[in-house]
């Protein structure tokens, strides 16, 4: 199976390097096949950027991808932070990722939708090799089986619960305080639902597409803020960022914060949406995705033994089984073409 992956994630690199890799990857691997004989799927989330590729010459293509990253990020030594897998190891890695077993939040379900979305988007933009179709379709199937057979998330806090707890730590009980969401991403909508279930009603959405913000505001009976008025974030107590913007959504230029007011900004995006210098302003607490992950990791250690058992009992077996299916299909095609 002529497949491979090169990537970086929250375990192998800090936020600064991850956002550099994410920014370069979204710019250079935007759906056009950049290398002869190669097709690929770009998976980019707040915790990982991975390029899954199929090629007749895997070592050459891998070297090409590394060269692109080196060309775009010449001032940072990063190669030792990357990881690469090929063939069945690549298959196993994507199966773990899709099942949520490689996530900061073990068993989280959002990653499965992100993997599917990356695959569907790539298939729309360019012809994918049969190996990539097989890889992603079967990994999505394996992940579904893992979720139906094992309660991976039991005992683990959800991201939205973690954010709610962090908000209370900074702001105290904040039922009457104002909340602003930048972006209507899946994770922002999950956090919104969590806050709403706890009785929070003073909520506003700001999105680049104002029509989408209006739609959710009308449905949920909340407020919408036009994108060009986003600097009005200073009038909110809690601001949560979850957009795909390639650059900062807000900066510290030309803002005047209310005296003695306490602000909490939670930036879940990679690349970051918030200029880190804002976190140094008086009264501002800025939390990024890596800080959220560190809090989660303390709970994560108790799941390690269960994860190892699931890998041995289910995922490894499922991947091996699908590899046999793939090779049988390849042999059948060979006999058909040679007959």
Q: Give the phi and the psi of residue 210 in degrees, each rounded to 5.
A: -65, -30
Q: What is the rounded CA–CA span in Å between residue 237 and residue 144?
A: 39
The correct CATH number of 159-297 out of 2.120.10.90, 3.30.2130.10, 3.40.50.720, 3.40.640.10 is 3.40.50.720
Give the pLDDT score at 156. Answer: 67
| Contact between residue 94 and residue 5 where contact means Cβ atoms under 8 Å apart | yes
Q: How many CB atoms lie within 10 A of CB 290?
A: 17
Q: Which residue reads 């040679």 in tokens?
A: 338
Q: Which residue reads 């390029």 in tokens?
A: 51
3-state secondary structure of 181: strand
H-only helix segments in the chain = 15-28, 58-72, 88-98, 110-125, 130-149, 159-171, 186-197, 210-220, 289-300, 304-310, 316-338
Which residues touch 285 (CB under 8 Å, ≥6 apart)? 170, 262, 263, 264, 265, 279
Per the DSSP assignment, residues forming a β-bridge with 241 are 182, 267
Q: What is the rounded CA–CA span in Å between residue 52 and residue 135?
A: 10
Asked whether the domain spanning 159-297 has the same topology as the one spanning 3-153, the reply is no
3-153: CATH topology is: Beta Polymerase; domain 2 (3.30.460)
Q: pLDDT digit of tens for each residue in the chain (339 aa)?
A: 899 999 999 999 999 999 999 999 999 987 766 667 789 999 999 999 999 999 999 999 999 999 999 999 988 889 999 999 999 999 999 999 999 889 888 778 899 999 999 999 999 999 999 999 999 999 999 999 988 877 665 666 788 988 999 999 999 887 789 999 999 999 999 999 999 999 999 999 999 999 999 999 999 999 999 999 999 999 999 999 999 999 999 988 878 777 678 999 999 999 999 999 999 998 999 999 999 988 777 666 656 666 667 766 788 889 999 999 888 887 766 555 655
Annotated catalytic residue 46: yes
Q: What is the rounded CA–CA span in Å between residue 123 and residue 296?
A: 34
Q: Give the phi and the psi of residue 155 in degrees, each rounded to 5.
A: 85, -5
What are the sequence ranges of the domains in the chain? 3-153, 159-297
CA distance between the termini of the chain: 23
Cα angle 121, 81, 119; round to 5 = 10
Strands 284-288 and 263-267: parallel
Give the pLDDT score at 337. Answer: 61
Give the pLDDT score at 121. Answer: 95
3-state secondary structure of 172: coil
């Amino acid at each position: 199976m002529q497949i491979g992956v090169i990537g970086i994630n929250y375990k192998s690199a800090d936020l600064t390097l991850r956002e550099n890799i994410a920014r370069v990857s979204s710019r250079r691997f935007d759906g056009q096949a950049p290398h002869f004989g190669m097709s690929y799927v770009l998976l980019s989330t707040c915790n990982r950027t991975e390029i899954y590729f199929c090629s007749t010459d895997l070592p050459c293509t891998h070297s090409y991808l590394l060269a692109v990253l080196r060309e775009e990020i010449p001032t940072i030594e990063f190669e030792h932070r990357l990881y690469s897998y090929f063939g069945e190891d690549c298959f196993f890695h994507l199966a773990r990722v899709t099942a949520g077993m490689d996530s900061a939040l073990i068993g989280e379900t959002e990653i499965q939708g992100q993997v599917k979305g990356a695959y569907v988007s790539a298939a729309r933009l360019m012809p994918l090799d049969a190996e990539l179709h097989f890889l992603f379709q079967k990994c999505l199937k394996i992940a579904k089986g893992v979720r139906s057979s094992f309660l991976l998330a039991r005992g683990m806090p959800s991201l939205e619960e973690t954010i709610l707890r962090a908000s209370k730590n900074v702001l105290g009980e904040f039922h009457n305080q104002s909340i602003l969401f930048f972006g209507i991403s899946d994770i922002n909508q999950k956090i919104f639902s969590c806050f709403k279930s706890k009785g929070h009603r003073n909520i506003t959405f700001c999105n680049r597409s104002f029509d989408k913000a209006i739609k959710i505001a009308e449905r949920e009976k909340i407020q919408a803020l036009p994108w060009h008025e986003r600097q009005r974030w200073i009038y909110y107590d809690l601001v949560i960022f979850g957009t795909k913007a390639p650059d900062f959504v807000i900066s510290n230029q030309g803002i005047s914060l209310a005296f003695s007011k306490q602000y909490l900004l939670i930036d879940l995006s990679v690349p970051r949406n918030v200029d880190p210098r804002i976190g140094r302003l008086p009264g501002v607490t800025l939390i990024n995705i890596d800080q959220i992950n560190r809090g989660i990791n303390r709970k994560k250690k108790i799941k390690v033994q269960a994860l190892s058992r699931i890998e041995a009992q289910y995922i490894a077996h499922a991947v091996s089984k699908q590899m046999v299916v793939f090779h049988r299909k390849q042999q059948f095609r060979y006999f058909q073409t040679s007959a």
